[in-house]
Amino acid sequence: MINAGEGLALAWRTWREAAEHALYGPGGFYRREQPAGHFRTSVHVSTLFAGAVAQLAEACRARTVVDVGAGRGELLVALRQHGIGSTLVGVDVSPRPPGLPTDVQWTAQLPDQLTDVLVIANEWLDDVPVDVVEVDAAGHARLVLVDPASGAEQLGGEPDAADVEWLARWWPLDGAAPSRRAEIGRPRDEAWADVVRRVHDGVVVAVDYYHLRADRPPFGSLTGYRDGRTVPPIPNGSCNITAHVALDACEAAGAAAGVRASLLTTQRQALRALGVDALLPPREFAVSRPREYLDAVARASQATELLDPSGLGRFGWLVQTVGRPLPAPLAAFLPPTRSP
């Protein structure tokens, strides 16, 4: 439990303010660092992930594929290597990566009125900063303030009315709930709804760490990442600051923004429906086709990591459509799941 402090110093900020500055302010983490240097996403594990995205783009008949939070453009490069013919667009606050194919577009902001589009936001929403609240000794939710230099915390005032309403609906902190600490996901809902509203006709997909209302982490999930390891979340620009995403709240925000169809499932289910499997090749191939056998074993190993139900396979896939039904591979084979 954090003790409330008196005489708050000017250095103390809400977690959302501190993380926004640490990640995206002048000299911030994402202004000077690239994600691949600090953590591996599904894109870095295997080109099988890009292959599944390419299959989804084909099923959507997408003339344009947009990667939101594109980092160094790894997914876009892999999509082009898969022979995808769609126009490729990377969206990121970072400058255009060197060596990106010249026919790949790069922008700092998602365009409007996108048509015949597949938008992929892979591990983007978890990097949208959020405020943190904690229940005080009297049972009231109070904003958690942080010292950006040290990561020390103390309790501040109460959240505003909109955040109180969000907590009541999506992450209740009353006496009947086990949670003592929560991350207010409203900025992520708003960011996701903004993506949906920019699409006139197409499919939008968020892939991320997630949790649902019935199973929120009782002490939140805020953490830091640096050099491939979890570290204390100190918002001084030295590490990534991230928290898991309330994807069910984002799903509702997308619905309110005008989606036609929606599916919330796991990466394991989504990738399997899009043709990713971890089947090993026949053993006799080791003698008769040794090179083919080794390649197939490598692919199976990569697929195993992508589909691991205790690892990347546990990620959430939120698939929503504007002006069209769900793409056939997902609509036909994937009932929605309600447990992460």
Q: Per the domain annotation, does 21 fall within a domain?
A: no
Percent helix, percent strand, percent coil in the chain, to nearest 5 = 35, 25, 40
pLDDT surpassing 50 at residue 44? yes
Determine the Cα–Cα distance for residues 142 and 122; give it in Å rounded to an integer.
31
pLDDT at 139: 87
Domain membership of residue 203 (yes or no) is yes
Total count of domains within the chain: 1
Rounded to whole angstroms, the Cα distance separating 317 from 17 reads 28
Residue 14 lies in a domain: no
For the record, the structure tokens of 292 come out as: 């083919």
Please check whether residue 100 lies inside any domain of the structure: yes
Model pLDDT for residues 108-130, shown as the tens digit of each residue = 999 999 999 999 999 999 999 99
Is 298 part of a structural domain of the chain? no
Q: Which residues of 44-54 are buried (b: 16+ CB within 10 A; e: fewer)?
A: ebbbbbbbbbb
Q: How far is CA 102 from CA 63, 90, 92, 106, 119, in A?
A: 18, 12, 17, 10, 20
Is residue 142 domain-resident?
no
Q: What is the CATH number of the domain that holds 121?
A: 3.40.50.12710
Structural domain includes residue 135: no
Half-sphere exposure of 170 (CA within 13 A, CB side): 24
pLDDT tens, residue by residue, 278-300: 887 777 777 777 787 687 677 87
> 327 in a domain, yes or no?
yes
The pTM (predicted TM-score) of the whole model is 0.90
Residues sharing a CB contact under 8 Å with residue 284, sequence separation 6 or more, in sequence order: none
- What spatial distance separates the first Cα and last Cα of the chain, rounded to whole Å? 27
Per-residue pLDDT tens for 218-266? 999 999 988 878 999 999 999 999 999 999 999 999 999 999 999 999 9
Q: From the centroid of its chain, how far is CA 338?
A: 18
Q: Are 226 and 239 in contact (CB under 8 A)?
A: yes
Q: What is the pLDDT of residue 322?
A: 97
pLDDT band at 199 (very low <50, low <70, confident <90, very high): very high
Task: Tell me the pLDDT tens digit for each residue of 149-184.
Answer: 999 999 999 999 999 999 999 999 875 556 789 999
Flag whether pLDDT at 33 surpasses 90.
Answer: no
Confidence of residue 94 (pLDDT cuts 50, 70, 90): confident
Q: What one-character DSSP code corresponds to residue 236?
A: S
CA angle, residues 234, 11, 137, in degrees to nearest 5: 75
Q: Compute the distance between CA of residue 235 and CA of residue 19 in angstroms, rounded to an integer.
A: 5
Residues 6 or more apart whose CB falls under 8 angstroms from that of 304 comprise 278
Segments forming the whole domain that contains residue 40: 29-128+186-274+305-333
